[in-house]
């Protein structure tokens, strides 16, 4: 029977390295290896390596630096599991590795982490960190979206999450809120108010015995006072007669406030060439 290698369309030899020789480049790996999810994943890998050895199909991708050091491109969790297993007494002299493709750039390495479909996927925060680094190296928003197979809106949301206050990042990393909920809240309410709403939601969830807040736990903040609110302040809601809706916002006016707003509108149009207060009143009546 022919060797399976003779039937292959191409061959690539595995490289074998002592795991203690492999290096992790500062800042290359976007993954936070201390999150509960990452620690659980590493613990699983460590037990598997102890029981079954390092699987050939899970070879670590590496590259050679100009000063002949060997750096990991893909497989940081696997290497961490190996090193922890060695510290716990496992005799592991060498592990299988593969060389990254020739011509691979730093941008390719960054995008490769986001696109990797093996093992534990990057979180939204970790993906955003990589995107931020890629754009610092000159990649455009459209290029990032194309390389990752995502919409520019999706990439923009990941960047927005990166720019969120550190308190938001901490709540996401600790599992108290989802990245999606945090991103939506900050985009709608802004950084400071978003943090307050998320913290209140986390407290509400905890009071209910829940570990993670959901959208139902997030309070709806009172609308910020605007210049218009100050000029047409409602003293008694029973005196209200006019509602103005703008999107999801509602402005409530007293009869006197409604009249003053109408006068402002008339003055605005009257100041425009070709308009008089009479013209505007006719137009408003026709619109009704």
Predicted confidence (pLDDT) per residue in 165-224, tens digit? 999 999 998 889 999 899 889 888 888 888 999 999 999 999 999 999 999 999 876 655
pTM: 0.56
Q: In sequence order, which residues have a C-beta less than 8 Å from that of residue 278 and are 6 or more positions away?
A: none
Q: Is the pLDDT of residue 283 over 50?
A: no
- Residue 57: its pLDDT value, please? 85
Q: How confident is the model at residue 267 (pLDDT cuts 50, 70, 90)?
A: low
- Residue 277: its pLDDT value, please? 44
Return the SS3 of 24.
coil
Output the CATH code of domain 12-102. Answer: 3.90.1530.10
164 burial level (CB within 10 Å; 0-12, 13-18, 19+): buried
Strand 249-253 with 242-246, pairing = antiparallel
Q: Is the pLDDT of residue 4 over 50?
A: no
Q: Are 255 and 239 in contact (CB under 8 A)?
A: yes
Angle between helices 141-148 and 124-136 (to 10 degrees): 130
Q: How far apart are CA 201 and CA 19, in angstroms?
A: 44
Q: Is the pLDDT of residue 286 over 70?
A: no
Domain positions in the chain are 12-102, 227-287
Q: Are 29 and 35 in contact (CB under 8 A)?
A: no
* Stretch 111-133: mean pLDDT: 80
């Amino acid at each position: 029977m022919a060797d399976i290698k003779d039937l292959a369309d191409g061959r690539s030899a595995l490289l074998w390295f002592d795991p203690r020789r492999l290096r992790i480049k500062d800042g290359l790996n976007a993954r936070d290896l201390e999150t509960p999810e990452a620690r659980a994943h590493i613990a699983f890998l460590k037990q598997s390596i102890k029981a079954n050895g390092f699987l050939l199909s899970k070879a670590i991708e590496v590259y050679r630096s100009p000063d002949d050091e060997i750096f990991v491109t893909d497989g940081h969790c696997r290497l961490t599991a190996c090193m922890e297993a060695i510290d716990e007494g496992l005799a592991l002299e060498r592990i299988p590795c593969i060389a990254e493709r020739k011509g691979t750039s730093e941008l390719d390495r960054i995008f490769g982490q986001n696109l990797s479909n093996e093992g534990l996927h990057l979180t939204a925060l970790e993906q955003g960190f990589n995107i931020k680094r890629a754009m610092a190296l000159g990649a455009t928003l459209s290029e990032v979206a194309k390389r990752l197979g995502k919409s520019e809106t999706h990439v923009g949301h990941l960047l927005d999450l990166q720019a969120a206050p550190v308190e938001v990042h901490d709540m996401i990393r600790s599992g108290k809120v989802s990245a999606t909920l945090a991103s939506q809240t900050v985009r709608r309410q802004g950084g400071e108010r978003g943090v307050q709403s998320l913290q209140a939601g986390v407290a509400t969830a905890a009071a209910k015995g829940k570990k993670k807040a959901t959208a139902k736990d997030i309070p709806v903040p009172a609308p910020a006072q605007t210049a218009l609110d100050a000029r047409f302040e409602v003293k008694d809601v029973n005196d209200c007669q006019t509602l103005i809706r703008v999107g999801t916002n509602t402005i409530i006016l007293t009869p006197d406030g409604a009249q003053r707003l109408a006068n402002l509108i008339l003055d605005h149009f009257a100041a425009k060439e070709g308009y008089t207060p009479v013209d505007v009143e006719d137009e408003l009546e026709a619109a009704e």
